[in-house]
Chain A
Amino acid sequence: MTGSTVLGSLSAPHRGDLGHTRAIALTPVSASPVYLDAATAAPLHPVARQALLAALDDGWADPGKLYAQARRARQLLDAARAATAETLGVRPDELSFTPSGTAAAHGAVLGGLSGRRRVGTALVHSAIEHSAVLHAAERHVAGCGTAAEVPVDRLGRVDLDGWAEAVRAPGVALAALIAASHEVGTVQPVAEAAAACAEAGVPLYVDAAQAVGRVPVPAGWSVLSASAHKWGGPPGVGLLVVRKGARWESPWPADDRESGRTPGTVNLPAVVAAAASLRAAAADAAAEAARLTPLVDRIRARVAAEVPDVEVVGDPHHRLPHLVTFSCLYVDGEALLHALDRRGFAVSSGSSCTSSTLRPSHVLEAMGVLSHGNVRVSLHRETTEADVERFLAELPGIVADLRAEAGVVGL
């Protein structure tokens, strides 16, 4: 999908070609695209674009060197770190920029475990962590560590009693809890989970990829990660925050950059753009949440009312302002994604047929909700009420057509 988008923009100058005109004429629907997959990657914030272009001219040198160009790059990096730390409410030296949110999550898990290996080798995590966290957990287990998974309820909320019990067990080195589910939007009881961790003396890692730049993250964590392209920054920038006093040891080969927490030279122009856009997104977060929450509520209500046999999933109240998920009974998720794409709607799915592994989403599985015919809609600062209305107007017909084609109407 990404490849064809890139090719599409590369071929834009040939818009007047006969071939292209014919292609448009043959396409049954020429609806303008509506991008509803911000939880994967939000469109680049205009502030990010501006900062990126400026930093390409000014921030190409290695910030670690001792000459004028490097000092300029160092100033940009320091300013980006200071601004980002201020937004997150942390000290600048607690924050490292990583090459991605995934790298930050891997580093958070493996480094948190490594730093406490004298205490034990057990990792506690919720059943609905991002796959980046789960893959790091798999690596830990393959290296003779252990991992205990704490279940969630039907709404996708972690079982707090189970959590408290799991972190109290002997030999727990680290506990990992996602701030809010990236698949169903349910906000997790981070403050309560952090209190249980504090009581047990176990550091808490919070994957805040869907929260940072949108909703406040409760205090009490020791390690946090985030990802710039979720808030409108460029792809390829992650945040790894390790609080002072937290035991964390780099799982990577030694490198002195970024406080030794992540190897390699940072992509400085992208980091500058990430920092600038985070500041802008955080400044608008409350207003954006107030604007998007009713749109998400409208999607939840209208989909449930107007699409027969649909299960709208996730906590109806304690949820992210921009993300909504539902599953349509008897509908093939991949067919639904393609049908929506043909009408110009870009969404994600947790259905097995849409994943490279052909397994259903572990999040939907953990919640015990329908996994086929699944759609995740996630809104962003450019999403308009008209976009949502068009989606809601077209969805029932699209689902009905797919059910009619499959011969499952009335089942």
Chain B
Amino acid sequence: MTAPAEILDCRGQRCPLPVIAVARRLPELPVGTVVRVLADDPAAAVDLPAWCRMRGQEFLGTVTGPDGPAYDVRRRH
């Protein structure tokens, strides 16, 4: 799996804020970049993949580490 180039710390934020954070940041990065989103709102697990599908971006998966649930997203276009 590609290592994330950047980490967006959205812990403590309620949905839709983590999704908004990705939507703001991803277009500023080069195509192919992977961003890791730290989000402890359980809705993020549903909404980040759904956003990727709606926006044609790539959802790479969920990685749960010491910082809690994390979600990797790759800019595809």
Contact = CB atoms under 8 A, between A and B. Distances in A.
B50 A368 contact: yes
A330 B20 contact: yes
Interface string B33-45: 0000000011101
Contact of A329 (B43, B45, B51): B51
Interface string A369-382: 11111000000000
Contacts of B50: 311, 368-371
Contact of A352 (B15, B20, B49): B15
Interface residues of A, number: 23
A371 B20 contact: no
A360 B16 contact: no
Nearest to A353: B14
B20 A406 contact: yes
B46 interface: yes
Contacts of A401: none
Contact of A364 (B20, B46, B51): B46
Contact of B16 (A311, A332, A368): A332
Interface residues of B, number: 18
A365 interface: yes
A353 B50 CA distance: 17
A359 interface: yes
Nearest to A366: B46
B54 interface: yes
Contact of A365 (B14, B46, B54): B46
A411 interface: yes
B24 A411 contact: yes
A135 B54 CA distance: 32
Contact of B20 (A311, A351, A370, A411): A411
A370 B51 contact: yes
Nearest to B27: A411
A372 B14 CA distance: 10
Interface string A307-342: 001010000000000000000011110000000000
A53 interface: no
A411 B17 CA distance: 12
A408 interface: yes
A358 to B, nearest CB: 8
Contacts of B10: none
Contacts of B43: 351-352, 359-360, 371-372
Contacts of B70: none
Given A351-B43, A368-B49, A370-B46, A330 B16 contact: yes
Contacts of B24: 411
Nearest to B18: A372
Given A330-B20, A331-B16, A360-B42, A372 B54 contact: no
B47 interface: yes
Interface string A91-116: 00000000000000000000000000
Interface in A48-74: none
B15 A371 contact: yes
Contacts of B23: 330, 408, 411
Interface of B: 14-16, 19-20, 23-24, 41-43, 45-47, 49-51, 53-54
12 contacts: A311-B50, A352-B15, A352-B41, A352-B43, A358-B42, A364-B46, A368-B46, A368-B49, A368-B53, A369-B46, A371-B46, A373-B16
Given A353-B15, A370-B46, A372-B47, 5 more contacts: A329-B19, A358-B41, A369-B46, A370-B47, A372-B16
